[in-house]
Amino acid sequence: MSFLLISIALGVIMLVVTGIAVFHKKLIVAIIAAGVLSLFASVLYLLLAAPDVAMTEAAIGSGLSTIIFFYVLNRIRTTNGTEDQETV
């Protein structure tokens, strides 16, 4: 029963974070929200009795892939100059 309540609370948080990741104007906030979505998904995997998957998702989905996104974003920003800063 308590697992059900926890999973519903997690689900509400995850849907909010997904909304931020899809609709937020700033790209940095969207990338971080996608990483946070992975982190909450790893908690959900733990509730679903899958600790192996939870470890992988926590290390890869929210750590390494966010870092790679940031490297690319930094590269594109520095080559872009000052104009159209708000789209990137």
Partner 1 sequence: MEYVSLTIGFIVIIAGLWAIMTNRNILRMIIGFSIFDTGLHIVIVSLAYVKGGTAPILDSAVGINEAIDKIVDPVPQALVLTAIVIGLGVTALMLAYAMKLHKEKKSLDIMSFRDLKW
Partner 2 sequence: MRKLFIIIILAAFGLMLYPLIQSFSGNDHLSELATYYAQKENIEKVNSVNLVTAIVVTYRGLDTLGEVTILFLTAAIIAFFLKGPSTLRTLRPNSEIFITAARVLVPIMVMFGVYIFMNGHLSPGGGFQGGAVIASAVILMFLAFPDAPFQHKFFGFMESISGLVFVGLAALGALIGSGFLDNTILPLGTFGKLLSAGAIPVIYSFVGLKVGAELSNILNEFKSVQSDK
CA distances, 64 to each of 8, 9, 24, 28, 60 (Å)? 28, 26, 22, 15, 5
Q: Which does 73 bind (CB under 5 to 8 A by kind): partner 2, partner 1, none?
A: partner 1
Question: Taking CB under 8 A as the rule, which mask of x and - marks residues 47-66 in contact with partner 1?
Answer: xxxxxxx--xx--xx--xx-
CB of 54 to partner 2, least distance (A): 8
Taking CB under 8 A as the rule, which mask of x and - marks residues 14-53 in contact with partner 1?
A: xx--xx-xx----x--xx--x--xx--x--xx-xxxxxxx
Cβ-based neighbour number of residue 77 at 10 Å: 14
